[in-house]
Amino acid sequence: MRGQDGTDAATRASTPVAFSVEQLAEVHRLQGLYPDRRAALLPVLHLAQETFGYVSLEVEAYVAALFDLTPAHVHEVVTFYTLFFRAPKGRHIVAVCHNLSCHLAGAPMIVAHLRRRLGIDVGETTDDGRVTLQSVECLCACEHAPMMQVDDRYEFGLTPEKVDRILEGLR
């Protein structure tokens, strides 16, 4: 399994972190849209994630320099949002809602089932790169609890059996 803790150091060391000229122009365009250019930090981080695959500490430092921010400031933003990945992510993202309605309806049991079936913990990716497992805040489908997001679709009314069928469909 791969975690969020820098286990990809060899990859990071060999991959230069730099936007293209066109991407830097886009960064400047985004920064010019707002009275405070820091408002463009999120879209630039998304651009960085698309470009480099995930937001490593090196990417955080690179983006921080583009905004005259400290790397720690960017790190706080990256670690706040579950849409940013700090290690290579799986081909599929399985994100179980752990907020109140889902929790009361059985989300902890669903997460435990997924951990067992996938052999990974929350925040980790299977060795074959198939699935990254996340536990996230409310996904705004509380009436269908417990639920989760699998890539770009919602899965409602989860049971262990339904989770198994969903996992079988992920290649």
What's the min distance (Å) between Cβ of 76 and ligand FES? 25
Does the protein bind ligand FES through residue 120 (CB under 6 A)?
no
Q: Do β-strands 148-150 and 153-155 pair in parallel, antiparallel, or remain unpaired?
A: antiparallel
104 SS3 class: helix
CA distance 58 to 65: 11
Site for ligand FES in 78-107 (CB under 6 A): 97, 99-102
Nearer to ligand FES, 17 or 142 (CB): 142
Q: How far apart are CA 141 and CA 125, in angstroms?
A: 25
| Per-residue contact flags (x/-) with ligand FES for residues 127 to 166, judged by CB under 6 A | -----------xxxxx--x-x-------------------
Cα–Cα distance for residue pair 134/37, rounded to 1 Å: 31
Q: Hey, what amino acid is at 71?
A: P
15 binds ligand FES, rule: CB under 6 A: no
Q: Is 79 left (phi over 0), alpha (psi -120 to 50) or beta?
A: alpha
Q: Is 59 near ligand FES (CB under 6 A)?
A: no
**Binding-residue total with ligand FES (CB under 6 A):** 12
Site of interaction with ligand FES (CB under 6 A): 97, 99-102, 138-142, 145, 147
